Amino acid sequence: MAAVRAACDPMTSKSAIGGKSSLTPMRFGRYGVRGAVAAFLLIAIAGCAMLGIGGVTPRQRAADLEPMLSAAGFHMIPADSPEKTQHLKTLPALKVNYYAGKDGAMRYWFADPDYCHCLYVGDETAYQKYENLRIQARIAQNEQEAAEENYEAQQQMQMNMMNPFGFGFGPGIGFGF
């Protein structure tokens, strides 16, 4: 069994002439191809992270959520003293949180210690309005993205129809021949 595996493996099999392997193994340092692929993926991910590709920045998140919170009925409480500012920095930032009030009713809050230096506070009604606004914003964003994709596809089809040589760039280069 090992002899069959060795004969089929291009890295270990010998050619009939000269007893040397006809294929030379491709090496990428001491970690091989897997190491090269892993390094490439690591560099690509790090590059995307440095450019901010694939994620929303905290400033963008605050700019998106704070108008919705205000429109939903949350009240903004500015951190206008050093004590309030210090306390605001201890709270989880840019995330809607909740607690049960003394009367048992749910209270919701959103801390922004870095951009508006404020705390948004609302009740259950304001939170439900906020959730509805978030859903509407998500639907609108999806519709906008779909409209942009449709527009780009339409533009591409028009460009393809105007090209007398088919789907390429000209004679001998494209796929139209």
Element (H, E) at 41: helix 32-51
Could you report the per-residue pLDDT of 27-59, keeping only the tens digit for each? 555 666 666 666 666 676 666 555 656 678 999
Same domain, 39 and 113: no
Please give the residue range of the domain that contains residue 133: 56-161
Could you report the per-residue pLDDT of 150-168, keeping only the tens digit for each? 999 888 888 777 766 555 5
Same domain, 98 and 118: yes
pTM: 0.57
Same domain, 60 and 48: no
Spatial distance between the Cα atoms of 119 and 75, rounded to a whole number of angstroms: 8
What is the tally of helices (H) and strands (E) in the chain?
5, 4
Residue 109 CB burial class (10 angstroms; 0-12, 13-18, ≥19)? buried
